[in-house]
Amino acid sequence: MGRLIRTRGLPATRFASQYRLNSGRAACSQLRTEETLSDGEGASSSGDGHSRFEVAIQKQGGLLKGILGYGNPMPVRGSRSSYSGVGQPRLQIEQARSFSAEANGEEQREVMEYDVVIVGGGPAGLGAAIRLKQLCQEKGRELSVCVVEKAPEVGAHILSGNVYEPRALTELFPDWKDQDAPIGVPVTDDKFWFLFEKRAVPLPSPFNNQGNYVISLSQLVRWLGAKAEELGVEVYPGFAASEVLYENNRVVGIATNDMGIAKDGSKKSNFQRGMELKGRLTLFGEGCRGSLSETIIKKYQLREQAQALHQTYALGIKEVWEIEESKHRPGYVLHTVGWPLDYKTYGGSFLYHMDNRQVAIGLVVALDYKNPYLSPYEEYQRFKQHPSIRPTLEGGKVIQYGARTLNEGGFQSIPKTAFPGGALLGDSAGFLNVPKIKGSHTALKSGMLAAEAAFQALGESEQPSMEAYWAALQQSWVWQELRSVRNIRPV
Ligand SMILES: Cc1cc2nc3c(=O)[nH]c(=O)nc-3n(C[C@H](O)[C@H](O)[C@H](O)COP(=O)(O)OP(=O)(O)OC[C@H]3O[C@@H](n4cnc5c(N)ncnc54)[C@H](O)[C@@H]3O)c2cc1C
Query: Rounded to whole angstroms, how far apart are CA atoms 57 and 7?
Result: 11
pLDDT in tens, the chain (491 residues): 333 322 222 222 222 332 222 223 233 333 233 222 233 333 333 333 333 323 333 444 443 333 333 333 332 333 344 333 222 222 332 333 333 344 445 678 999 999 999 999 999 999 999 999 999 999 999 999 999 999 999 999 997 679 999 999 999 999 999 999 999 999 999 999 999 999 999 999 888 899 999 999 999 999 999 999 999 999 999 999 999 999 999 999 999 988 899 999 999 999 989 999 999 999 999 999 999 999 999 999 999 999 999 999 999 999 999 999 999 999 999 999 999 999 999 999 999 999 999 999 999 999 999 999 999 999 999 999 999 999 999 999 999 999 999 999 999 999 999 999 999 999 999 999 998 999 999 999 999 999 999 999 999 999 999 999 999 999 999 999 999 999 887 77
What's the one-letter identity of residue 116?
Answer: V
Query: Rounded to whole angstroms, how far apart are CA atoms 55 and 65?
Result: 15
CB 434 within 8 A of CB 421: no
User: What separation in Å is there between the alpha carbon of 165 and the centre of ligand 1?
Assistant: 15
For the chain, what is the domain count?
Answer: 3
**What's 233's domain CATH number?**
3.50.50.60
Same domain flag for 331 and 285: no
Q: For ligand 1, is residue 432 a contact (CB within 6 Å)?
A: yes
| Residue 93 belongs to a domain | no
Q: Which of 220, 251, 318, 440 to mutate to test the pocket of ligand 1 (most atoms within 8 A of CB)?
A: 440
**What's 328's domain CATH number?**
3.30.9.90
In ligand 1, the atom with minimum distance to the C-alpha of 425 is 26
* 322: three-class secondary structure by DSSP: strand
Q: For ligand 1, is residue 362 a contact (CB within 6 Å)?
A: yes
| Residue 268 belongs to a domain | no
Same domain flag for 299 and 368: no
Q: Which of 357, 390, 407 is the last residue of a domain?
A: 407
Q: For ligand 1, is residue 359 a contact (CB within 6 Å)?
A: no
Same domain flag for 198 and 241: no
CB 327 within 8 A of CB 392: yes
Q: Which of 368, 385, 407 is the last residue of a domain?
A: 407
CB 40 within 8 A of CB 114: no
Same domain flag for 123 and 252: yes
Quote the domain boundaries for residue 18. 1-78
Same domain flag for 376 and 477: no
In ligand 1, the atom with minimum distance to the C-alpha of 148 is 43
Phi, psi of 137 (to 5 degrees): -65, -45
| Residue 94 belongs to a domain | no
Query: Rounded to whole angstroms, how far apart are CA atoms 75 and 58?
Result: 7
What is the pLDDT, as a whole number, of residue 314?
96
Q: For ligand 1, is residue 161 a contact (CB within 6 Å)?
A: no
Q: Which residues pair with 84 in a beta bridge?
A: none
Phi, psi of 50 (to 5 degrees): -85, 150
Secondary structure of the chain: what % helix, strand, coil (to 5)?
30, 25, 40
| Residue 118 belongs to a domain | yes
| Residue 3 belongs to a domain | yes
DSSP state letter for 433 = B
Q: Which of 360, 390, 407 is the last residue of a domain?
A: 407
What is the pLDDT, as a whole number, of residue 60?
40
Phi, psi of 135 (to 5 degrees): -65, -35
Please work out, in degrees rounded to the nearest 5, the angle formed at the alpha carbon of residue 153 by the alpha carbons of 404 and 230. Answer: 120
Same domain flag for 291 and 383: no
Closest CA to 395 of 318, 329, 325, 335: 325
* 34: three-class secondary structure by DSSP: helix
Please compute Rg for the chain using Cα positions: 24
User: What separation in Å is there between the alpha carbon of 427 and the centre of ligand 1?
Assistant: 7
- Burial class from Cβ neighbours inside 10 Å (0-12, 13-18, 19+) for residue 69 reads exposed
Same domain flag for 339 and 203: yes
Q: For ligand 1, is residue 403 a contact (CB within 6 Å)?
A: no
| Residue 474 belongs to a domain | yes
Same domain flag for 149 and 236: yes
Same domain flag for 390 and 471: no
Burial annotation 276-293 (CB, 10 A radius, 16+ → b, else e)? bbbbbbbbbbbbbbbebb
CB 58 within 8 A of CB 10: yes
Same domain flag for 326 and 203: yes
Helix (H) or strand (E) holding 102: helix 100-103
In ligand 1, the atom with minimum distance to the C-alpha of 155 is 49
Same domain flag for 57 and 182: no
Query: Rounded to whole angstroms, how far apart are CA atoms 53 and 4?
Result: 11
| Residue 105 belongs to a domain | no
CB 297 within 8 A of CB 439: no
Q: For ligand 1, is residue 148 a contact (CB within 6 Å)?
A: yes
Same domain flag for 189 and 323: yes
Query: Rounded to whole angstroms, how far apart are CA atoms 412 and 466?
Result: 21
What is the pLDDT, as a whole number, of residue 106?
64
Q: Note if the pTM is more than 0.75.
A: yes
| Residue 104 belongs to a domain | no
Query: Rounded to whole angstroms, how far apart are CA atoms 325 and 218?
Result: 23
CB 452 within 8 A of CB 127: no
Query: Rounded to whole angstroms, how far apart are CA atoms 297 and 416?
Result: 8
In ligand 1, the atom with minimum distance to the C-alpha of 441 is 11
Query: Rounded to whole angstroms, how far apart are CA atoms 200 and 191?
Result: 11
Task: Please state the separation of Cα 467 from the chain's center in Å.
Answer: 22
